[in-house]
Structure 1
Amino acid sequence: MFIPLAAQALLVAVVPGGLLVWNMHNGQQMELAQRDQERLEGFAATASEALGAGKPISRLIPELDQRDPRLGGRVQLVNADGTPIAGPTSTNPPRAERPVKLNGQTVALARIVRAPTLTDGDRSFLATQYLGIAVIIAGLFALLLAAAYEFARRWSKPQLELYRLSREIVHGDHDVEIEERGPAEVVATSRNLQRIASQFSRLETARRTWLVSIADELKRPTESLAKHLDSLAEVQHPISAELATGLEEDQRRLSQMAEDLSAVALADLGRLPVSFSQVDPRALIHNAIWGNAKRAEGQGVKLETSTLPQYTILVKWDGTRIEQLFGALIDNSLRYTPRNGRIVLGLESSRDAWRLIIDDSAPGVDVMLAQRLFEPFYRSSDNPEDSAAASGLGLATARAIVEAHHGRIEASRSPIGGLRVTVILPAEPPRA
């Protein structure tokens, strides 16, 4: 806003100033031409008198050059037919012309054939005038520039306020406050934005609350289903092993889905419960491998560790949540890793933090889409079978647990061909 106004201010200041300079220059030229005509008139009269006294016409120009420095070297005498008599010659039209008469007859013509030469006084006068005009233009431009800045500041402030409000709403801050200043249209737009933010806030709160309620409601039937399956296994005519395994797997998936949905919903509300205590990350990794070994073996996938420290490590994490984190990451890798594939878990030190690394040999994920894997309900595969087996909550749950531990989680290409998920957790939670 300010730059266009500044350009207009410059135009408003320079154009009149340029016109003023042009007008002054033309006035100066007209004044010089008027003076030349007056001096030439005087010279013609003097020449007529000199000729009447018998002075040769050829001597008039040298005497003029010595007597009048303003006309000296500029006046030419020619006969009535235009033949040069004395003085400088020029192919340009004469600037002024006067007849030289003797006894009432024109015997010669006096012409000014060259432009006047400015004297030091003329130059000083013009310099003073131009300097004054420049000062006026600069002062006018500075005044207009200050006015443009003030106008742009006053006009832009409500626009910047609207931009701030919209940016805060986009970034999820729905508790926005507005200052009702500026034009009526801006104030009305700000109020509309505030109403939109308020509606978004209510909808978002309702959505998060619904997710928590749905997760809690899902937990009850899944727990009841597990008890019913245990009772079914104790009857005298048990069901087939294949059917029992399928039912157990479905119950496990439902239970895990309920846990993941609850974790994501609570994290979204900022209420994911974590209980920090001293745990050994190596033990958590071994527990995760032991808990998923049977499933990995059934799918023909090798679940192993790579670089684990040989000494005991004590960190302050929520052991239950970290096991849930490993379970979600391993479950995601098992879902996409083909038979005879590998899933490798590693642990590395990183200053005051620990780096948990999970590599798999599943088909690689586009690096540009890697971070979207942690969004709730996002699936990287278009395969209907994979979509049916996945809730899209596993990696979102992992991110929620990592953020609750004040860490970060990243996805990238794995050196063994699939996806690498790197989790960096501080050894202890930051102190308030």
Structure 2
Amino acid sequence: MRLFPGIFTTLAAQALLVSVVPGGALVLFLHQTSAFQVEARDRDRLEGFALAAAQAARAGRPLDQLVNELDPQRLGGRVALVNAEGQLIAGPGGAPIMERPVQVEGRTIATARLVSPAQLTDADRRYLAIQYGGIGLIVFALFTAMLVAAYVFARRWTKPQLELYRLSREVVHGDHEIEFEEEGPPETVATMRNLHRIASQFNRLETARRTWLVSISDELKRPAENMGEHFIELCKVEPPLPPELLTGIEEDTHRLIHMAEDLSAIALADLGRLPVTFEQVDPRALIHNAIWTHKTRAEGLHVRLETSTLPEYTILVKWDGARIEQLFGALIDNSLRYTPRNGRIVLGLESSRDAWRLIIDDNAPGIDVMLAQRLFEPFYRSSSRPEESAAASGLGLATARAIVEAHHGRIEASRSPIGGLRVTVILPANPPTA
């Protein structure tokens, strides 16, 4: 979370603005003041020159000589004299910037004109350099002080916010036993306390849920196993029971056994204790075994089980073969439940760097992409039709996700290119054992 950099950057930008704008205004004011001073100085000098020219005229001295004697550091090369008719007597031509009359006994005999602006002297430059340097130093000191204040304020203000963010993230990630320091504004501290109470309630509910789930799965496994044994005994009864009754009992028994296995896997995975035994297996063989196991049921539903993009060579990976077969069984069972008559279910295997991508496609009616990931939630059913909901336990895909996560992989659902659902499982070839 980049809360501190964002706040500090905003405050630093404001500090820079508050420092530079007044500093720029001071520089502009100093520049204008200097221009006014130079203009006033030229005005005074031109007045003095006009008086000197009048005195020279009284003494009978030529005025052009007076212009040529002007100091270049003052008005030299910038002043022109014109007679009463406007004819140039001496000096450069050009449009006048300012004018002063040269009068003798109340009569204007000439006009002194300033025809070019003043150039800054070395003294002027030194003065302005000192002033600009002082303003720059003040602006830098002000900006530094405000930057330090911004850092302190941002650090102090964001610390409780970051602590609150940390607590909320821990709660989201399932850590409900959170600890925190009550530091910051009263509203933030109150929010921390409320979050702690919510986390405690979640912790109690989560503990109870996991306990119930494990207990129910354990209690369900025993009668499910007993029903399998009783079904074997029923098949030996003479005279034999009607085939329809035996088929119904067999399907319900298998469904109950699978539900017990799935619920147990989900409960153990929820506790982080799903047992997996990694050994070298061939994924191609596992796919062919899964197709052979479900072939009879698929043919009864008039659905074709096919393979696609299977490598032509033997592949060795370190997976739990039994769990992966259970994974394939859950995925195929889910597709068989929704694939229409004369439909297809296609299993594929593709290489993906140091992992393998298992893909199963069907041409069922398909799903909403926005709801795709909800398929892996326990007891979620994508169909609202009563006959399909009654046949589904809602645990198959949740079990698949538990097995995938135990292998340090990931599972995703999306639209299939053949019109139905695509489930993609990505498993590392050598999952970490710890």
The TM-score bracket by the shorter chain reads 0.7 to 0.9
Q: 1:190 to 1:111 in 2, by over 3 A?
A: farther
Q: Distance in 1 between matches of 2:134 and 2:369?
A: 67
Amino acid in the other structure paired with 1:52: R
Partner of 1:72: 76
Match of 1:97 in 2: 100
Query: Aligned letter for 2:41?
Result: R
TM-score (norm 2): 0.78
Following superposition, the deviation at residue 400 of structure 1 comes to: 1.0
Question: For the aligned residues, what is the CA RMSD?
Answer: 4.0
| Alpha-carbon offset, residue 193 of structure 1 | 2.5
Corresponding residue SS for 1:377:
coil
Amino acid across the alignment from 2:298: A
Deviates more, 1:2-11 or 1:321-330: 321-330
Cα separation, 2, equivalents of 1:91 and 1:317: 97
**Structure 1 residues 47 and 268, CA gap change in structure 2 (3 angstroms):** same
Distance 1:394 1:155, change over 3 A: same
- 1:415 to partner: Cα distance: 7.1
SS of aligned partner of 1:100: strand
- Give me the whole-angstrom Cα distance separating, in 1, the residues matched to 2:23 and 2:154: 25
Q: Deviations over 1:313-347 (max 9, x none)?
A: 98765555444333322211211223334445567
Displacement after TM superposition at 1:406 (Å): 3.8
Give me the TM-score of the superposition, normalised by structure 1: 0.78
> Separation in 2 of the partners of 1:208 and 1:137?
64
Q: CA deviation at 1:148?
A: 2.3
Query: In structure 2, how many angstroms separate the alpha carbons of the residues matched to 1:428 and 1:75?
Result: 95
Listed as ranges, the gaps of 5+ residues in structure 1 are none
Preserved CA contact (<8 Å) 2:101 2:108:
no
Distance 2:388 2:58 in 1: 125
Question: Would you say the 8 A contact 1:77–1:111 is kept in 2?
Answer: yes
Amino acid in structure 1 at the alignment position of 2:29: N
Among 25, 28, 32, the alignment partner of 1:26 is: 32
Opposite residue 217 of structure 2, the aligned amino acid is: A
Amino acid at match of 1:326: F
- Asked if the contact 1:77–1:108 (Cα under 8 Å) also holds between the matched residues in 2, the reply is no
Tell me, what secondary structure is at the counterpart of 2:104?
A: strand
Residue 114 of structure 2 is matched in structure 1 by 113
Matches within 5 A, 1:241-280: 241-274=243-276
| 131-140 or 231-240, which deviates more | 231-240
Q: Against the structure 1 CA distance between its residues 222 and 187, is the aligned structure 2 distance closer, same or farther, given a 3 Å change threshold?
A: same
Inter-partner Cα distance in structure 2 for 1:24 and 1:182: 46
Query: Match for 2:200 among 175, 198, 201?
Result: 198
Q: 2:302 maps to what in 1?
A: 300
**Alignment CA distance shift 1:76-1:423 (3 Å):** closer
For the residue of structure 2 that corresponds to 1:67, the secondary structure is coil
Query: Does the Cα contact within 8 Å between 1:309 and 1:347 map onto a contact in 2?
Result: no
SS in 2 for 1:271: coil
Q: Which amino acid aligns with 1:271?
A: R
Map residues 48-67 of structure 1 onto 2, 5 A cutoff. Answer: 48-55=54-61, 59-67=62-70
- Structure 2 distance, partners of 1:75, 1:310, is 102
Q: CA deviation at 1:417?
A: 6.2
Shift of 1:2: 1.9
1:175 to 174, 177, 184: 177
**Contact 1:99–1:109 (CA under 8 A) maintained in structure 2:** yes
Match of 1:162 among 149, 161, 164: 164
State the distance in 2 between where 1:416 and 1:43 align: 102
Flag the 1:133–1:348 CA change in 2: closer, same or farther, 3 A. Answer: closer
SS at match of 1:181: coil
The AA in structure 2 aligned to 1:270 is G
